[in-house]
Structure 1
Amino acid sequence: MRARNLAVVLGTIHRSGPHTRAALAERTGLTKTTVSSLVSDLLEAGVVTESGTVRAGERGRPGVALSLSGHRVATLGLEINIDYLAACVVDLTRTVRLRRTRPADNRNSDPAEILRRLRDLVKETTAEAEESGLRVIGAALAVPGTVAGGVLRNAPHLGWRDVRVADLADLPVAIDNEANLAALGELWFGSRATDFLYVSGEIGVGAGLVVGGELFRGTFGLAGELGHVVVVPDGPACRCGGRGCLEVYAGQDALLGDLGSVAELAARLESGDRRALEAAERAGHALGVALTSAVQLLDPGRIVLGGVFGPLFPWLEGPVGDGLATRLRQLRGTPPPLVVSGIGADAAVLGAAGLVIQQIIAEPARVLGL
């Protein structure tokens, strides 16, 4: 019962605080004595803070306001991408306290070696956070592949199968698909919309569907493999064994061709380079076809383009939007708004850190050992 009540009080502060103890008692239905005891534990754990006085509403007497604290407890978001490793420390107010990125070529790599480098990054980042007075109490890792039961089942571009990362560091580590966590990052740190389809453009193309502020994972947690929606039935072969998949036309490799980076492609597009414009047009057309099917099936409130699609949005918006409008006009009139991610390349690593914050809010007794 105490664990449940801690979650109720902390959740109320999180959703609608700051609140006085009297206001918390009124909102939660708990007694003032119970609330005071629980608040003392949360203050001691460093997850809430007292921040001045407000009118409590009881005969006009002022009370001390309680809000989430960003001074002592933090979480760690991690990402293994094809060409980098990333870490991000976020406090409970969802303020980013530090970011670290390490360029790397992780294609067809040795899991043990990459995880060793990631462990080093974790140690370095947590040590720096601790120097500033923060205690990192949990981490989550975004990976470009399918995840089940805490195991990375298949990440074709990394060349990994059935890799367990639970022993990554001396703190709890959750693991999830990059597109899922990027969608949650957009939910918690970006546009804050509660109904949208997030499309992550990387080497592959993934998607995360958020409905009513919750991520839809599917029966086996594998929802969102947009990159393997067929857009041209007799198109080029895809690594999945099919032909004409979206990834073949709109994945990062397809967009870049022989160019070295997305920044170089964007510069070519800015200059009006014909080959670059044709690649963007081809990718935008394919995205429009795939997203038409997604809209017809899922009816999202909006479509958010992230990952490499973010910096390329000015050149993708036209062909994607035109394709959606043309195909959906008779069915629904106006397609859902097409927007660019508000947090860019940090979406997945922020979503990973945010996932641990949500766990703290939902189960403070278990996560914090109260």
Structure 2
Amino acid sequence: MRAHGSPLVIGHRGACGYRPEHTRQAYELAFQLGADFVEPDIVATKDGVLVLRHENEISGTTDVSNRPEFADRRTTKEVDGAPVTGWFTEDFTWAELATLRCRERLGPLRQASASFDGLYPIMRLSHLFDLVDRLAETSDRELGVVAEIKHATYFESIGLPLDELFADELERVGWQHEPNRLVIESFEKTVLRKVRERGIRGSRIYLIEAEGAAFDLVARDGADAASYATEIGEVGLYELATRRGLDAIDGISVDKSLLLDATSDDGTTDLVDRAHAVGLAVFTWTLRPENRFLSQPFRGEGGKGDFGHWRQEFRTIMKSGVDGVFADHPDLALVVRDAAA
């Protein structure tokens, strides 16, 4: 994992600005455009197969709602303390999910990606590792994976422990000892510890939201759960950095709003400097060029789907010293990174 230099460019769910997210075509394109790593979101099927979806609820990213044979699977569940209605990966076998076709979650904003709706199947995690291995054989760069484990507390509560399934998968594909090519991230530190307990090597990154608290802490501590803001405060950040053994983490990955500060001289907060001072790497998400996703000072003329002043925002974020950036359009992030080199 690159430390304190030019940031890694990580294809967020592949190159989902150009192809529907989490498809083989999105991941292949991300590497073709120059991404160093790619990031899959990992959830499980009823029969314990790890698949790549933004969430376990899949109505927004597949054609499941148009499939009459699965109409009776629509339901409402509580996931991480919130009610969610739709179709869920854990109610399908892998064989059933394999019949679905992907669609772009941000279709109204991204016609380029949405134009490929209905063409590509869902990927298994094992498919992605096979793809990276194959592409690495012909590349002069080291290609890697930032694997995000989603809703671990929830999945464990229904008998699908993602740490166990993930460790088993890595052993099957030979990625269990790939510290240079594998980063494991989650919004829950508990699952990061459990993965390490199972002997999986790789950098461990704790994901941080702009507000709220980690669900594993909420499940354990209720209203007394430490907030994300507390965890990246002066004391909290030091405590994260000084965790030892199986509890140790290598860095944090934060919502980009936690790095941007229009009132400061350079447009950024001191979070990266504070994290680096205690030995933690910092990633940030997500670099997107559309006005809808740019922070207010960088929005341009036109509608939500039009590109704003993305170069300026990307440049500001990278100048903070961040170690890795997640980008839906990896080529655009590389344009800015390489111009500053």
1 or 2, which has the higher helix percentage?
1
Higher relative contact order (CA 8 A, sep 6+): 2
TM-score (norm 1): 0.27
TM-score (norm 2): 0.29
Which protein has the larger Cα radius of gyration, Structure 1 or Structure 2? 1
